[in-house]
Chain A
């Protein structure tokens, strides 16, 4: 029996599956931790900006607040109003959550530990997988709006669908120049291209692409200044008005998870991923310590971006809907197209 187990373990396929499972569990727990504490940071930052104290009752500095919130969300009444479309009403919160968890699969969160590459799935279609999964995120919110069978959620859902698909185009176009330069869709290759110096980072090589991608990222995650699906003052909360208890909490967890994951995406595409351009930190790690350091660098950059997203929310007013559409379709798309053409012509001229 033990012999059979050892044999099984030594088969390469089994090892691959085992290490994948380990990586998935680690990434998933870290992501959930970030989601929980992003909410806490958000409340603390907003409190500091608005000259309040924020949560400070549960634990030191309110540090256990996320746990208390989770318990509360579980224990509240899970009420399904009579007028909703039941099946979709149940599906919607899960469909918001699942894509944001799936996108994390291809983000390289470190170079390597031992011989294991620090990415869940090293797909060669890379970024296309991301866009495919991100597109699914629209369904959850639209479905929530439709399933609620009520006016505010319906308006929130329909607005959100138009907003998210509009900015998806700008987002997709903005990163094309990156792949013109890097030559491969694999995100590991994109990071390898950015190794070597500060100026090799795409934020400096493709600043226009960075600006468009950043704005589209805000729009895709429904964060202010693009949070029209929620728009508390007009829609009283938008697509999630009819939801209660854990279903409501799942929408929020989905939003924060997709915020964290798109921050990771931004870091990978534009800020050099796990690399730092000195002390040899831009080459794959040879030792375990260096591997851990790379993961720490990635997490540091990612948390910085998450903090920035939170900060922006409490500093900016919301766009009007016509301004939002104008910005997406009439400003970003021509700019992104021009950026592609300029990059292509530049490469051609250089060759």
Chain B
């Protein structure tokens, strides 16, 4: 088989994507067509809260902790992505300049870890209080 271009490799992914989208939305549409048609009623239209009448809007205020987790996630996730290129070239680089590649990543992880310790000390991951 001849060498495929980088982009051509993604053709199957695209085909699978089309199938996945068609399947998911197809299911939804079919269920609307063949499903039972019922009557609406005010009670049926209320939000489900185990039979109690709902008080106030759905989805009100929620803990600020969730925002904090989201921000920390973005920071750490980017750092995880940075680790992958390093991991891939690591063994090759060890043959040429082992100390450099190890030291570079150790210092990166060190700085990352200081930030992590700071977040722990600031009780960012403490959900009990």
Chain B residues closer than 8 Å to A104, beta-carbon distance: 16
Chain B residues closer than 8 Å to A177, beta-carbon distance: 87
Given known pairs A165-B69, A330-B120, A340-B109, the reply for A347 and B45 (CB within 8 Å) is no
Chain A residues closer than 8 Å to B4, beta-carbon distance: 16
Number of residues in A with C-beta < 8 Å to the partner?
A: 88
Query: Is A188 in the interface zone, CB < 8 Å from B?
Result: no
Q: Do most interface residues of chain A lie in helix, strand or loop, or is the interface mixed? A: helix
Assess whether B46 is in contact with A83, with CB atoms less than 8 Å apart. Answer: yes
Chain A residues closer than 8 Å to B21, beta-carbon distance: 94, 98
The smallest C-beta distance from A163 to any residue of chain B, in angstroms, reads 9
Classify chain B's interface size.
35 or more
In chain B, positions 77-91 with a C-beta closer than 8 Å to chain A are 77, 80-81, 83-84, 87-88, 90-91
Query: Is A278 in the interface zone, CB < 8 Å from B?
Result: no
Assess whether B27 is in contact with A246, with CB atoms less than 8 Å apart. Answer: yes
Assess whether A179 is in contact with B84, with CB atoms less than 8 Å apart. Answer: yes
Assess whether B58 is in contact with A150, with CB atoms less than 8 Å apart. Answer: yes
Assess whether A102 is in contact with B17, with CB atoms less than 8 Å apart. Answer: yes
Chain A residues closer than 8 Å to B120, beta-carbon distance: 329-330
Given known pairs A161-B66, A326-B125, the reply for A83 and B35 (CB within 8 Å) is no
Given known pairs A83-B58, A330-B125, the reply for A250 and B109 (CB within 8 Å) is no
Chain B residues closer than 8 Å to A122, beta-carbon distance: 9
Q: When chains A and B are docked, how far (Å) is the Cα of A95 from the Cα of B76? A: 25
Q: When chains A and B are docked, how far (Å) is the Cα of A160 from the Cα of B68? A: 15
B interface list, Cβ under 8 A from A: 1-2, 4, 6, 8-13, 15-17, 19-21, 23-25, 27-28, 30-32, 34-38, 40, 44-50, 54, 57-60, 62, 65-66, 69-70, 72-73, 76-77, 80-81, 83-84, 87-88, 90-92, 94-95, 98-99, 102, 105-106, 109, 112-113, 116, 120, 125-128
Mind listing 6 A-B residue pairs with CB under 8 Å? A76-B36, A97-B27, A161-B66, A165-B77, A179-B84, A329-B120
